[in-house]
Structure 1
Amino acid sequence: MARQRTVSDSVLAAATPAAVYAVVADPTRTPEWSPENRGARTGGAGPLPVGAVFTGANERRGFRWITECVVTAAEPGERFAFRVRAIGGARRRLRTRIATWEHRLEPAELPGGGSGTRVTQTWTDDRTMPDAVARVFDAVATRGPFADFQRRNLATSLQRLKAVVETPTPA
């Protein structure tokens, strides 16, 4: 059976698309809501433009790795996406297609009234390894299919992101 290559989930947040974009388009803020990301280096702060390259530090169950990413979409208030193009340690990285992450932002009515943003986060598995090899790797790395693991990660990320963007910033 072919592996599932794309997983998406959404959440409604009581924040403007511009406010949500300011958070998701700044990789240095990702540790505030990501279950695995522990930091990013971007060469500056704030939302990144298309073509910008950044590195991410990640951890899962005590295992740490670095990713090198390139921004592929930067549409303020609407969409931010990046492709993970290398993975490995601090010095050596395997340059290969890994994954694509995307955040789509749409103005939305909130259930109790008022306006907010529907945030849809999508992960796409860009790995080119055969499905049989991926199943073995995934069983070790995530204790099951990677798509199932990412489904749980997305749900956690989105709930944490919602809390971040709905929390007023101190004046």
Structure 2
Amino acid sequence: MKREFVVSDSIVINSDANTLYDAISDPTRTGEWSPENTGATVHEPRESAYVGMVFDGTNKRGRATWVTRCTVTAADRGKTFEFRVHAIGKSAPKIKGANATWRYDFQPVEGGTKVSETWTDDRTKWPNALALVFDKIVTSGKTFPQFQRRNIRKTLENLQKLYA
């Protein structure tokens, strides 16, 4: 089975690109629309997101909870917001290693803004067989691409409802 490393989806939201960017680039608000993330703490907060900004995200899937350490890698208001997940742990992000990159692109279109969300699996050094077994254990039988495809769609639909 060939491993899939990138999953992306898009939706048009009836709002302007800057408003959507401002919301999505504030990791403390992600729990308002994410099916897994419950919020975040920004290490050195400023008025808006910036490249190099570090935050710890809190997450929940079923009974499992965990914390991730993330660093913003792109912050172009109204255009692109991206961050890399590079540490994880049960109550603190102590296990370091490439995990994933999340990217949001904003494109003005008729009727609002096309928001694209992309997940990239950064576990490129993991053997395919190990990734497949690990993924199926932590997602109740799915690969991470299958699982993230559903999460991305739900996130985008939740954002669309919030900004209807």
Fold match (TM-score > 0.5): yes
SS in 2 for 1:57: strand
Contact 1:86-1:94 within 8 A present in 2 as well: yes
1:46 is displaced (CA, Å) by 5.0
Residue-by-residue CA offset, 1:25-69 (whole Å, 9 max, x unaligned): 000110000000011001437531000000000010110000000
Change (3 A) 1:144 1:27: same
TM-score (norm 1): 0.90
Structure 1 stretches of 4+ with a deviation exceeding 2 A read: 43-47, 89-92
Q: Name stretches of at least 5 consecutive residues in structure 1 with no aligned partner.
A: 111-115, 167-171
Match of 1:81 in 2: 82
Indicate the RMSD between aligned Cα atoms, in angstroms. Answer: 1.2
Match of 1:38 in 2: 38
Change (3 A) 1:96 1:13: same
| Alignment: residue pair count | 161
Match of 1:20 in 2: 20
Q: Structure 1: how far apart are the matches of 2:145 and 2:134? A: 13
TM-score (norm 2): 0.94
Residue-by-residue CA offset, 1:93-144 (whole Å, 9 max, x unaligned): 210000000000000012xxxxx10000000000121110001001101121
1:80 is displaced (CA, Å) by 0.1
Q: Name stretches of at least 5 consecutive residues in structure 2 with no aligned partner.
A: none
Match of 2:147 in 1: 149
Match of 1:164 in 2: 162
SS in 2 for 1:65: strand
Contact 2:68-2:92 within 8 A present in 1 as well: no
